[in-house]
Amino acid sequence: MELLKKARELGIYTAYNINVDAIVYLKGEHVESLIKEFGESAVRKRMDEYPREVNEPLDFVARLILALKTGKPMAVPLVNEELHTWFDSRFKYDVERMGGQAGIISNLLANLDFRRVIVYSPIMAEKQARMFVNRPNLLYPVVEDGRLVFKHPGEAYRENDPIKINRIFEFRKGMKFKLGSELVEVPFSGRFILSSRFESIKIETEDELRPFLPEIGEAVDGAILSGYQGIKLRYSDGKDVNYYLKRAKEDIMLLKRNKNIKVHLEFASIQNRELRKKVIYNLFPLVDSVGMDESEIAHVLNTLGYSQLADRIFTYNRIEDTVLGGKILIDEMNLEILQIHTIYYIMYVTHRDNPLSEEELRSSLEVATTLAAARAKLGSIKKPEDFREGLTVPYNERGEFVKLRFEEAKRRTREYKVVIIPTRLVKNPVSTVGLGDTISAGAFTSYLALLREKGAL
């Protein structure tokens, strides 16, 4: 596709979160074994309590079953580091690979042969470093003798750095298991992510590197920042969320100091309302673009005080409600563009004065869904030509319905440009992990390429 070719001329910086994804391809007997271990009544009781984080195994079982019953992707933080042994004794990991938004996106863009991909994380253990693809366009910034140097991440690891492990439980549509007398059938393919949130994992730029952020900004055309869901409200050393968000704001301003690059924030599920509110109000106004899924926009709207609209999105998932939520968000947070991805459609919401036409915005979303389809079909994208595999994937069966509902919603969008396309949906995906990140990376970089072509970047 011609637009992807233009996007590959860009330089992109991405930070902060990388981790090892330990993946389990879940089967019904796995779930039934867990239910038997804790008992149906205890599991149901904990499901009703809806734990927001995993402190003990029963919290995990309850949230896993809730995810399976709805078939919706979920991510819940694991806060008890001692549970590593319990998980390792119950599950055999089918795959261990690169995880974290920054890690997934940097490998993707490097394999697509982008001009330059600079990835940064404050932790870089050897095992993690080896999971980066061996491409000459993939770089990691280090400071040597007082100056900025770029190395391949595989050459930049540090011996004593911790490793962040996220456990991902992939489930398939049609999987069945018994919860007491109830037979549960999973309605959609998806994944349940148990993300490690420990004090040793910081979301920040190291002091030694921070003075060089303007130089990094000069070397790229855009930045994709993520991982803020890993910030904790309070730390044992006396620091808190405000300390790390202040540094995060300074990082964005430093990246833009010498060159006004576009910055995209990839939002991820933040269970704690107070932390979610602080991330939204501190960071959204400083970035140009934000990407999220439909459940995340509902959480954001709820945090901004639009609880009834948020409830409607959670309950009915109507396109017109999501469009209204998008318009509210770009106005209140002064965003240039908002990208929302769901199972059945991807949407852009931007102001009427955006330099790109609706047709150009639509072509950007086409790049995004085609890349995600290629990844779902192949399991990973290893070369630019893999993009063609996505073109062989049909649009989902609800595509015409999506278009019809969008036309109804669009009548109330005169002051905005709102563009929506159906997703290309792989019926039996090799993996669903990283599809949202792939969509956001494809959308943002193709958006930048179109802006550049018009002289607006």
Q: Is 256 left (phi over 0), alpha (psi -120 to 50) or beta?
A: alpha
Cite the residue boundaries of each domain of the chain with CATH code 3.40.1190.20: 2-18+100-160+199-453
pLDDT for the residue 403: 78
The reply to whether CATH 3.40.50.300 applies to domain 22-97+162-196 is no
Average pLDDT over residues 165-171: 93
**pLDDT tens by residue, 199-245:** 878 899 999 999 999 999 999 999 999 999 989 899 999 999 999 99
Q: Which residues, including other chains, have CB under 8 Å from residue 239's CB and lie 6 or more apart?
A: none
In the block, residue with structure tokens 């039996």: 428
Radius of gyration of the chain (CA): 21
Say whether pLDDT at 412 is over 80. Answer: no
pLDDT for the residue 89: 92
The CA-atom distances, in angstroms, between 29 and each of 34, 68, 177, 245, 312 are 9, 13, 7, 43, 35
Cite the residue boundaries of each domain of the chain with CATH code 3.30.1110.20: 22-97+162-196
The full DSSP string for 375-402 is HHHHSS--SGGGHHHHHTSPBPTTHHHH
Instruction: Please give the Cα distance from 31 to 322 (Å, whole number).
Output: 33
pTM of the model: 0.88
Could you give the 3-state DSSP secondary structure of residue 296? helix
**Which positions are catalytic?**
437
By CB neighbour count within 10 A (0-12 exposed, 13-18 middle, 19+ buried), where does 182 fall? exposed
Higher-confidence residue of 410 and 267: namely 267
Instruction: Please give the Cα distance from 90 to 84 (Å, whole number).
Output: 10
DSSP for residue 130: T
**pLDDT band at 283, cuts 50/70/90?**
very high
DSSP for residue 247: H
- Which of 225, 227, 237 has the alpha carbon at shortest distance from 201? 227
Tokens of 165: 């492990």
Instruction: Please give the Cα distance from 37 to 43 (Å, whole number).
Output: 10
Return mean pLDDT, the chain. 94
CATH architecture of the domain with residue range 2-18+100-160+199-453: 3-Layer(aba) Sandwich (3.40)
**pLDDT tens by residue, 300-319:** 999 999 999 999 998 988 89
Do 348 and 364 meet the contact criterion of CB atoms below 8 Å apart?
yes
pLDDT for the residue 81: 79
Do 380 and 435 meet the contact criterion of CB atoms below 8 Å apart?
no
Higher-confidence residue of 159 and 107: namely 107
Say whether pLDDT at 413 is over 70. Answer: no
Strands 222-225 vs 11-15: parallel, antiparallel or unpaired: parallel
